[in-house]
Amino acid sequence: MNTKDKKSSTSQSTLPDDIERLMKKQGGFTRSDLTARKVSKKNQDSKQPQKNSSKKPAKAKEPTPEPEIVQEKLEEIAKERKIIFEPNPGPQEEFLAASEQEVLYGGAAGGGKSFAMVVDPLRYAENPNSNMLLLRRSTEELRELISVSKQLYTQAFPGARFLERDKTWVFPSGAQLWMSYLDRDDDVMRYQGQAYNWIGFDELTQWATPYAWDYMRSRLRTSKNTNLPLCQRATTNPGGPGHFWVKRMFIDPAPYGKAFWALDENGETITWSEKSKFAQLNGLVGKPMLKRRFIPASLMDNPYLAEDGMYEANLLALPENERRKLLEGDWTVAEGAAFTEFNMEDHVIEPFDIPDNWPKFRACDYGYGSYTGVLWFAVHPSGQLIVYREMYVSKVTASDLADMILEAESNEKIRYGVLDSSLWHKRGDSGPSLAETMIMKGCRWRPSDRSRGSRVAGKNEIHRRLQVDDFAGEAGLVFFNTCRNTISQLPSLPLDKNNPEDVDTKSEDHLYDALRYGIMTRPRSSLFDADTTGLRTGFQASDGVFGY
């Protein structure tokens, strides 16, 4: 038993060996497998007993001493040793010992999240097959991580080199850690064809959509027999443009700290596809694919800052919402939410069969690389709008989207559709626009209003619709509870910091845009409009639905 074993046994027995390796003394590791590596001679004390391994006895020159003497000696050494890194007990330790494929360490600022993120790859730095990637949103933010890594890595692994040009660490084993940024969605293409066993995202809510996180999952691979687990790790504060999707992916599905099978955006468990050879060979088809876990961080976990008091005092001085997010790591507070009036009681209803004679229409905001949001609306005879179906998909071509829409509404009569007007722009010199492609398939659209001020007007109109009518006791806009994505996105859509009249366009706003386009067609119902036969009569007041 070495000093480390002794030390850690008092705190947390689940701590894996790898972490213990990090807790080491100047110039050498406490564990034999690491001390076997070349360490700085200068710091080597001749009577240094880190050859205290059980599996590889030191070139035994002394007879085995009495256990008490060993104990004493170890304690003596422990005093002399300068431990370079020791996880803070609690969440930081849990994060560093986590075994789930996807783990988010999130919550209060100053909890030691980024620090842990930089330490985590060291668990695999001894494996020559290890190829790892640590990401931040921008290069400037990356610098902070690089500087922490420079303080830690060379001490932990003498001989580890940082290649400035490539921003890559090369460890003595040959293991590599790339430190990079990933700003726009297209940046993921840089990693096409690459394979990593460990990928980390620091400050995950800085990514407005889950696109990069989901894409990078496909880069997570190891070749056979490398003994490397696949890890995707993230840290973050609550808030930021990606608050909503991060919360939905990691925080909502299970109690804090509890591992759960990963769900897709429709709330279904992600399972192995029958297309996967690996799954076929291993009888995994249809079985849940990966586990996730959220580990909450609090400032109080980090004695390095908590004891200081100043930092806490600064956080306490922040406005309420900021404070709850940063100091308490509160995920329920959406940052400057645009639609604070939205709530489940007034705006979400159980689905019911919509009478055929209520006018129906749809609206769409299209994005191939990011997401496409389509919403279907029905107009209640009272004029209330009911959003009764949503479609939220990614990587679907215009032509396929048209098929999917027509299929979804095959038994319905849809009066009209409104689509982001930019889709009428031609893609090149020739060929139909995306809108025309869909229209040619029979999925008809009219362009949305894109005039100046239409964004703000649309937002105001949604506010107006969300109001609960005093007389009827009902809101002017309600959603079937099956419209999961819309219901979770709308209340956490952040306001634009520079223009509080509008929402932050960098956030996940495709369904919101679809809602806005739909609502701005000013649909309403009237007695004259109700088509009691359930069939098209051939004569309809053109402004009965559109209102203008």
Residues in touch with ligand ADP (CB under 6 A): 85-88, 92, 109-115, 297, 302, 304-305
Q: How far apart are CA 205 and CA 333, in angstroms?
A: 14
Does 488 sit near Mg ion (CB under 5 A)? no
Q: How far apart are CA 293 and CA 446, in angstroms?
A: 44
Q: How far is the CB of 278 from Mg ion (least distance, A)?
A: 35
* C-alpha torsion sign, points 111, 113, 119, 123: positive
Using the minimum distance from each CB to ligand ADP, give the nearer residue, 90 or 476: 90
Comparing CA positions, the residue from 465, 487, 483 lying closest to residue 474 is: 465
With residue 401 as reference, give the H or E element that holds it: helix 398-408
Partner in contact with 389, chosen from ligand ADP, Mg ion, none, beta carbon below 5 to 8 Å by kind: none
**Strands 291-297 and 102-107, how do they pair?**
parallel
Pick out residues in 92-131 that bind Mg ion (CB under 5 A): 113-114
Q: How far apart are CA 435 and CA 443, in angstroms?
A: 9
Identity of residue 252 = D
Shortest-Cβ-distance residue relative to Mg ion = 114
Buried-exposed string 353-367: b where 16+ CB fall within 10 A, e elsewhere:
ebeebbbbbbbbbbb
Return the DSSP state at 250: I
Using the minimum distance from each CB to Mg ion, give the nearer residue, 114 or 205: 114
Partner in contact with 91, chosen from Mg ion, ligand ADP, none, beta carbon below 5 to 8 Å by kind: none
Q: How far is the CB of 105 from ligand ADP (least distance, A)?
A: 8
Q: Residue 199 contacts by C-beta under 8 Å, 6 or more apart in sequence?
A: 132, 133, 134, 135, 216, 219, 220, 231, 232, 233
Q: How far is the CB of 116 from Mg ion (least distance, A)?
A: 9
Using the minimum distance from each CB to ligand ADP, give the nearer residue, 30 or 88: 88
Q: How far apart are CA 387 and CA 379, in angstroms?
A: 9
Partner in contact with 502, chosen from Mg ion, ligand ADP, none, beta carbon below 5 to 8 Å by kind: none
Q: How far is the CB of 58 from ligand ADP (least distance, A)?
A: 30
Partner in contact with 448, chosen from ligand ADP, Mg ion, none, beta carbon below 5 to 8 Å by kind: none
Partner in contact with 302, chosen from ligand ADP, Mg ion, none, beta carbon below 5 to 8 Å by kind: ligand ADP
Q: How far is the CB of 115 from Mg ion (least distance, A)?
A: 8
Q: Residue 162 contacts by C-beta under 8 Å, 6 or more apart in sequence?
A: 146, 149, 150, 153, 168, 169
Partner in contact with 359, chosen from Mg ion, ligand ADP, none, beta carbon below 5 to 8 Å by kind: none
Using the minimum distance from each CB to ligand ADP, give the nearer residue, 113 or 248: 113
Using the minimum distance from each CB to ligand ADP, give the nearer residue, 286 or 304: 304
Q: How far apart are CA 112 and CA 115, in angstroms?
A: 5
Partner in contact with 54, chosen from ligand ADP, Mg ion, none, beta carbon below 5 to 8 Å by kind: none
CA distances from residue 474 to 462, 469, 471, 477, 490 in whole angstroms, order as listed: 15, 5, 8, 9, 18
Using the minimum distance from each CB to ligand ADP, give the nearer residue, 290 or 300: 300
Token output for 168: 């890559």
Q: How far is the CB of 85 from ligand ADP (least distance, A)?
A: 6
Enumerate the β-bridge partners of residue 200: 134, 233
Token output for 497: 């910091």
Q: How far is the CB of 109 from Mg ion (least distance, A)?
A: 7
Does 206 sit near Mg ion (CB under 5 A)? no
CA distances from residue 491 to 108, 165, 235, 318, 521 in whole angstroms, order as listed: 22, 43, 23, 23, 22
Q: How far is the CB of 84 from ligand ADP (least distance, A)?
A: 9
Partner in contact with 511, chosen from Mg ion, ligand ADP, none, beta carbon below 5 to 8 Å by kind: none
Q: How far is the CB of 150 from ligand ADP (least distance, A)?
A: 13
Partner in contact with 115, chosen from Mg ion, ligand ADP, none, beta carbon below 5 to 8 Å by kind: ligand ADP
Using the minimum distance from each CB to Mg ion, give the nearer residue, 92 or 114: 114
Contacts with Mg ion by CB under 5 A lie at 113-114
